[in-house]
Amino acid sequence: MTDPASQHPKTISELPLEAIALAGRLFDAARSGDTVILSQALAAGLPANMTNDQGNTLLMLAAYSGHASAVELLIQHGADPNRLNDRGQSPLAGAVFKNEDDVIEALLRGGADPDFGSPNAMQCISMFKQEEKWAEKFQAAPGKGRAATP
């Protein structure tokens, strides 16, 4: 009997070129907020927490690029709003950095923890002088304190 894990590629270089190209198109769809492509891919079984070579999820790319509707779609399909990239950054901190208010609201509704990541979103609102706008909402966020420690 063959071990099922041994049948999967261990590195990206072992993947078929078509699979690599498809992954690139899906990450581009997240960056551009293309909810049609993302919806089709998610319905076909795309993992909502798929990551690229830097650990950025589709959600991170959509959030950082300012696409609230794509963020909402991905969260509805199980994307983790507290999944950190390889640099320890959260989608919420990225949205604060980019001053994407609609994305911040969508992430908070979706369970993002403002205290998670490095720097975390609470630290980012301080760095970017946005405490007046966000501190109260971050303190009351449904996901506050719920993210797993990295």
pLDDT band at 11 (very low <50, low <70, confident <90, very high): low
Query: Would you state the pLDDT for residue 105?
Result: 98
Q: Name the CATH superfamily, with its identifier, for domain 15-139.
A: Ankyrin repeat-containing domain (1.25.40.20)
Instruction: Answer whether residue 97 shows pLDDT above 70.
Output: yes
Q: How far apart are CA 96 and CA 99, in angstroms?
A: 5
Query: Would you state the pLDDT for residue 16?
Result: 80
For 72-92, write each residue's pLDDT tens digit.
999 999 999 999 999 999 999
Q: How far apart are CA 136 and CA 120, in angstroms?
A: 15
Residue range 19-47: average pLDDT? 94
Q: Mutual orientation of helices 101-109 and 131-139 as an angle, nearest 10°?
A: 10
Assigned token pair, 74: 């991905």
Residue spans of the domains in the chain: they are 15-139
Q: How far apart are CA 143 and CA 4, in angstroms?
A: 36
End-to-end CA distance of the chain: 36
pLDDT band at 8 (very low <50, low <70, confident <90, very high): low
